[in-house]
Structure 1
Amino acid sequence: MTERKTSVVVLGGGPGGYEAALVAAHLGASVTVVDRDGLGGAAVLTDCVPSKTLISVGDFMQRFEAATDLGVGFEAAHAGEEATADASRVNARILALAAAQSHDIEQRLLSEGVRVCRGVGRVLAPGRVRIEVESGGTEDVDAEVVLVATGATPRVMDTARPDGRRILTWQQIYALEELPERLVVVGSGVTGAELAHAYLGLGSEVTLVSSRDRVLPGEDADAAEVIENVFRRRGMTVLNRSRMASVVRAGDGVAVTLEDGRTVEGSHCLLAVGSVPQTAGLGLEEAGVELTGSGHIKVDRVSRTSARGIYAAGDCTGVLPLASVAAMQGRIAMAHALGDAVTPLNLRGVSANIFTDPEIATVGYSQTDIDEGKVDAHTVMLPLATNPRAKMQNVHDGFVKLFARKGIGTVVGGVVVAPRASELIYPVTLAVQHRLTVDQLAGTFTVYPSMSGSIAEAARRLHTID
């Protein structure tokens, strides 16, 4: 007799959704993914993959400016020529890469037997989902397990309405056919800082409007100071303690009015003022799913909502807006729902990265946590300027910072500010995840010369602290 398969319906095909679908399929469930915009979600189509590709182009162009410091010049025939970015070609490549990644994800799901349905899903009740099919009509589906992974969308303000041409959200910039001549970026969080850095590298004149005392206010203060100094040194105008009041079209450009009455003019304005969860109209509250005041779905550490059989993952939960966290939430949800071994989500083990130049990578407890007494730990900060590999690569900015619990020396967190910090944070993440001591970290061989040598050196210095 054939065993009946558990029916799973996933609303949303982003990292939380498609990773959950793969786990559910591997565990023998009958899986349907309902997706409107394309597999991969915003992370692949309009956010992570496109923005990091744009940043990589800007970084590539910055290397030309630094070439003379390395003793590299250009032939006389090309003297005076500068590297320039063709926005239409750059954006066409970005969108092609995103589409290819989305296609690969869809093919992977189909190969695992997952049904992909184009449309929008709504929860009628626990165990029942209605799909409004893109091609027309509706379909009601029984679902013993429902995962909501509908993500978030850029926050829009009444005083700054995007038009997709001159006033833009981060999802609209890839339609530009010309590079913004004078770009005003409103918002100095991760998205604002990354894209301000990208367009500065591409050749735009950039003004960054920050309502806080510094850029990246939610990050390590030492790391944020490095990035802000680099921004200013490379020609960016950074306006701290400057809250935007409104943005309007002004002729062929834009006018950004600040709350103190000042006006900043530019050719384009990029709004990076946060996001809102896409949870409205899904029937969640009617089905017994509890939401926060901001509209996020309340979940526990195994991604359960307040309604039996309904789970949630990703940006719609407000847990941590990272694709890696969304994917982990989705995987945990399916393991729990389908009876597999499961480890609850541990946010202390999450490594995150900001793709500026240099990058900022973090994991575990922060300097603020230590300063506020949340963990009793020692701190060591080692500038990269003394690292031989950094000198070879003309790296002047950055550092390695490690946090170790007092008395036992367990690594509880760290910060790396460096080129490719996203790669360098991995050994620190392993140490945090597996509760390694600074002696174990320091006693592991590193290549000489290498940037990772500074991680081992920082660990050795922590050994001598009482």
Structure 2
Amino acid sequence: MVVGDFAEELQTVVIGSGPGGYVAAIRAAQLGQKVTLIERGNIGGVCLNVGCIPSKALIHAGEEYQTSLDSSLLGIETKETTIDFKKTQAWKDEKVVRPLTKGVEQLLKKNQVSIIKGEAYFVNSQTLHVMFDDEKGQTYTFEKAIIATGSRPIELSSFKFNKRIIDSTGVLNLSELPKKLIVIGGGYIGTELAGAYAKLGTEVTILEGMDQILMGFEKDMVKLVEQNFKSKNVKVITNALAKKAEQDDQHVTVTYEANGKEEQLEADYVLVSVGRRPNTDDIGLDIAGIETDEKGFIQVDEQGRTNKKNIFAIGDIVPGLALAHKASYEAKVAAEALSGSKGAAVDYLAMPAVCFTDPELATVGYTEKEAKAKGFDAVSNKFPLAGNGRALSLNQTTGFVRLVTEKESHTILGAQIAGVSASDLIAELGLAIENGLTAEDIALTIHSHPSLGESIMDAAELVLGQPIHT
């Protein structure tokens, strides 16, 4: 390892090019920093290559397949629908993932961000060594750094990853459509991918250790997903402990315990989706003196600054939900702080969380229970999508919009949406919370007709005791 006079000097370094890293690099460059981005894999990180984006592509493919099966309801008769899964995977890779990752690379170049392909290790708090391959490397000194190395799936000791026991990356890149799939873990990733494959015709079983799937969402929202799973023949087994797996060339048999009894299930593949761990254990943080907690998360202040004042950390490697948009948000704050802004600081109240199940689930701000725990005199009002004309015309009336407001002022404290396009609709309510708006503000905002957005206006009118459509 070469250090000292032979080290190349850099100003600002960003390690990792996911939705945290590439956004941090671009924003820092826009603010006058000379930025170098270091990436050991593909530009775009997990999210663009093997996470958020490809999973949504498969979810959409499943929705299209289901639409063709159900089209007779609309008077559209089709011949038997078939799936060429290799073509589906090729579309996902060539028409969705590749254009996005190439686009990010062009954005980096446009903003004059230099890119180094290699694996970075800290030598000290102002020096990095980057290995380009197994033999070649280079040492760099830097003034400032943002660590955005992301996370990886947790591997269970009794379910080591291999050909038939796979993680989220593996299940997104299967060359064949499984006849049967077991999903261990009913969180965001597990339920989304279970739903995607169920819509494509796979027989899916979810084994969840808690008493419900999707613990981050309220029960009445989760119930809608469970009902949809039943209609797609997805079996959800809660309070289940997956114990071991036995496999041959074609199948995997999982032994699990539920209700005091041991049972067995057989499938083509097992997806293990029990959480993710931060990629902080092999980059020399201890050598650089950067503090982490017992789980490996880097400790940061409200600007993303670590205990080393010139080094910041963002995304999955810091405490909080592992969300791509959280990483991008933290990236902008850290880039501004690194560039000299003293007022930049994170505020997570209006941070949405979305799950692309069927129906979609989205939440932002406080639930009613959380708001009351914070001392607010909070109430909630729920408008059903069955009362929305656009939802009816889409034949997707399952779900609701719920507003959590302060009783006297009608200030919006939180919102939950279950239903079609919840992932898009939640943005309006995030904006409302961010700006301290009231139900009156939304009710007085003219919403186009017919639109799903009208359901938010209707929910606001319900808060005011002046509902038109319910």
Q: Do both proteins adopt the same fold according to a TM-score greater than 0.5, normalized to the shorter chain?
A: yes
Matching residue of 1:105:
104
Matching residue of 2:150:
151
Whether the 8 Å CA contact 1:363–1:425 is kept in 2: the answer is yes
Whole-angstrom CA distance in 1 between matches of 2:455 and 2:20? 35
Give 1:105's aligned amino acid.
V
Whether the 8 Å CA contact 1:160–1:248 is kept in 2: the answer is no
Task: Single out whichever of 193-202 and 111-120 deviates more from structure 2.
Answer: 111-120
Q: What are the equivalent positions in structure 2 for 1:111-122 lying under 5 Å apart?
A: 111-122=110-121
Alignment pair present for 1:219 and 2:217 = yes
Instruction: Summarize deviations over 1:310-348 as a string: whole Å, max 9, x none.
Output: 100111113221111101111111110111364311111
Whether the 8 Å CA contact 1:70–1:394 is kept in 2: the answer is no
Instruction: Summarize deviations over 1:324-376 as a string: whole Å, max 9, x none.
Output: 11011111111101113643111111122111121111111124414645543
Aligned pair partner of 2:19 in 15, 22, 35: 15
Give 2:66's aligned amino acid.
Q
Give 2:332's aligned amino acid.
R
Give 1:279's aligned amino acid.
T
Whether the 8 Å CA contact 1:401–1:458 is kept in 2: the answer is yes
Whole-angstrom CA distance in 1 between matches of 2:182 and 2:382? 34
Whether the 8 Å CA contact 1:69–1:394 is kept in 2: the answer is no
Matching residue of 2:454:
453
Matching residue of 1:384:
385
Alignment pair present for 1:304 and 2:305 = yes
Give the superposition deviation at 1:420.
1.2
Whether the 8 Å CA contact 2:181–2:205 is kept in 1: the answer is yes
Structure 2: runs of 5 or more not aligned: 1-8
Whether the 8 Å CA contact 1:214–1:225 is kept in 2: the answer is no
Give the superposition deviation at 1:87.
2.0
Give the superposition deviation at 1:61.
1.0
Q: Structure 1 pair 439/9, CA: closer, same or farther in 2 (3 Å)?
A: same
Give the superposition deviation at 1:109.
0.8
Secondary structure of the corresponding residue to residue 185 of structure 1: strand
Give 1:161's aligned amino acid.
K
Task: Single out whichever of 170-179 and 11-20 deviates more from structure 2.
Answer: 170-179
Give the superposition deviation at 1:269.
0.9
Task: Single out whichever of 241-250 and 197-206 deviates more from structure 2.
Answer: 241-250
Give the superposition deviation at 1:39.
1.0
Instruction: Summarize deviations over 1:178-224 as a string: whole Å, max 9, x none.
Output: 10001111110000000000001111111111112222112122111
Give the superposition deviation at 1:18.
0.7
Whole-angstrom CA distance in 2 between matches of 1:136 and 1:27? 36
Give 1:379's aligned amino acid.
S
Matching residue of 1:271:
272
Whole-angstrom CA distance in 1 between matches of 2:115 and 2:134? 13
Alignment pair present for 1:66 and 2:70 = yes
Whole-angstrom CA distance in 2 between matches of 1:170 and 1:349? 28
Instruction: Summarize deviations over 1:42-86 as a string: whole Å, max 9, x none.
Output: 011110011011111011111123322223223xxx3xx1x2322
Q: Structure 1 pair 367/191, CA: closer, same or farther in 2 (3 Å)?
A: farther
Whether the 8 Å CA contact 1:14–1:42 is kept in 2: the answer is yes
Give 2:389's aligned amino acid.
P
Whole-angstrom CA distance in 2 between matches of 1:66 and 1:452? 26
Whole-angstrom CA distance in 2 between matches of 1:348 and 1:313? 17
Q: What are the equivalent positions in structure 2 for 1:16-415 lying under 5 Å apart?
A: 16-74=20-78, 78=79, 81=80, 83-96=81-94, 97-134=96-133, 136-163=135-162, 165-250=163-248, 252-259=250-257, 260-340=261-341, 342-370=343-371, 372=373, 375-415=376-416
Whether the 8 Å CA contact 1:6–1:29 is kept in 2: the answer is no
Whole-angstrom CA distance in 2 between matches of 1:104 and 1:460? 42
Whole-angstrom CA distance in 1 between matches of 2:402 and 2:70? 26
Give the superposition deviation at 1:150.
0.4
Whole-angstrom CA distance in 1 between matches of 2:222 and 2:327? 25
Whether the 8 Å CA contact 1:33–1:116 is kept in 2: the answer is yes
Task: Single out whichever of 211-220 and 366-375 deviates more from structure 2.
Answer: 366-375
CA RMSD of aligned residues (A): 1.8
Q: Structure 1 pair 180/368, CA: closer, same or farther in 2 (3 Å)?
A: farther
Whole-angstrom CA distance in 1 between matches of 2:87 and 2:287? 47
Matching residue of 1:441:
442
Secondary structure of the corresponding residue to residue 213 of structure 1: coil
Alignment pair present for 1:426 and 2:424 = no
Whether the 8 Å CA contact 2:36–2:116 is kept in 1: the answer is yes
Secondary structure of the corresponding residue to residue 38 of structure 1: coil
Give 1:384's aligned amino acid.
L
Whether the 8 Å CA contact 1:288–1:307 is kept in 2: the answer is yes
Whether the 8 Å CA contact 1:315–1:322 is kept in 2: the answer is yes
Give 1:296's aligned amino acid.
F
Structure 1: runs of 5 or more not aligned: none
Secondary structure of the corresponding residue to residue 238 of structure 1: strand
Whole-angstrom CA distance in 2 between matches of 1:375 and 1:240? 34
Whether the 8 Å CA contact 2:10–2:140 is kept in 1: the answer is no
Give the TM-score normalised by structure 1. 0.93
Q: Structure 1 pair 218/17, CA: closer, same or farther in 2 (3 Å)?
A: same
Give the superposition deviation at 1:385.
1.4
Give 2:136's aligned amino acid.
G
Whether the 8 Å CA contact 1:220–1:367 is kept in 2: the answer is no
Whether the 8 Å CA contact 2:397–2:419 is kept in 1: the answer is no
Task: Single out whichever of 344-353 and 85-94 deviates more from structure 2.
Answer: 85-94
Matching residue of 2:5:
none
Give the TM-score normalised by structure 2. 0.93
Whole-angstrom CA distance in 2 between matches of 1:111 and 1:246? 50
Give 1:123's aligned amino acid.
F
Secondary structure of the corresponding residue to residue 144 of structure 1: strand
Give the superposition deviation at 1:256.
1.3
Equivalenced residue count is 454
Whether the 8 Å CA contact 1:59–1:357 is kept in 2: the answer is no
Give the superposition deviation at 1:299.
1.3
Give 2:230's aligned amino acid.
R
Give the superposition deviation at 1:264.
1.3
Give the superposition deviation at 1:444.
0.8
Whole-angstrom CA distance in 1 between matches of 2:390 and 2:462? 20
